[in-house]
Structure 1
Amino acid sequence: MTNTAIGWTPELFAQYWAAPDPAPLPGFVTDDVVGHWPGNQVVRGTEAYVGALEKLMALLPDIRLEVPAGAMNGEHGFVRWVMHATGKHGRFQLNGADCITVRDGRVCENYINFDSAEFARLSGHELVVS
C-alpha cells in the first residue's frame, strides 16, 4: 500500500487494517501527529505514533479491523471498526471508533476509542502505548 495524492480516507483505513503492516505508516502521518489512546495515553510525533501501533500489533499479531462505517467531513474522518484478534484467552472481537483529523492528506491527530477494560478482559493484555 502506498500513499497517494488523495490522502487518508476511511476506505484507506479499512484497506490498511485488513492486512496491517507498520512499514508504510510514517508516510501517512504528519511529523507532529498526536494519538489519543484510551486511559489518557497520548503519543506525539511519528516515531511514538507508529511505535504505539507496533506495540498493538506485537500483542495481537493476527489483528484485523473490519470497518462497517466511515465518513469524511472536511478535514475530519470517522471510522467505526470491529477488531478481530487472538489474545491470551483465544479469538475475540471488540468494537471501537477513531476520529481522525487530516492535514494535507496525512493524519495529524487521532482519537482512538474503545473500552480498554474490555480489551484487557478479552485479550488478556493491558495496552500501554505511551
Structure 2
Amino acid sequence: MSDTREPTQSPIPVRTAAFAAGLGAWILWSGVILTGTGLIIATNVVAGALIALFAAYTAGWPDGGRLPAIAAPLLVALLGVLVIVAPFVLEVTIQRVLWSNVISGLLVVLLAVGSVYGSWQLAQSSGTGV
C-alpha cells in the first residue's frame, strides 16, 4: 500500500513564530508586571504588540500570504533587537526589567531568524519565490 499523501511542509516557521508571538505578549506586559517605570513601559507595550502581531501573522501564513515570505519574521527580528537595546538606551535601572528585555528579546531574535529560514524554505519549495 503506497502513501499518496502530499509531503508535509516544514513546521519550523509556524512553531517558531507561534512561540515568538507568545514572547511578544510577555514583552507587552512585562513593563507592568515587573513594575518598570518611565518610557520602557510604553516601548515594551508597542514592541510587544507588534512582535505578537507579526509573529502571529507568520504563524498563520508561513508562506507569506500577501507579504513576501520573509517580511513579517524579519520585522519580528528587528523588533527583537529593539527590545534588547531599549533598556540600555532608556537607561533602565530596574534589573528585572533590563534582564527580561535582554533575554526575551534575544529569544525573539533567535526564533525570528529560524522563522525567516523556515519561511524562505517554504517559499522556495512552493516555487513562489521570496
Q: Give TM-score, length-normalised by structure 2.
A: 0.31
**Relative contact order, CA 8 A, sep 6+: which one is greater?**
2
Larger strand proportion of the pair: 1
Q: Give TM-score, length-normalised by structure 1.
A: 0.31
Larger helix proportion of the pair: 2
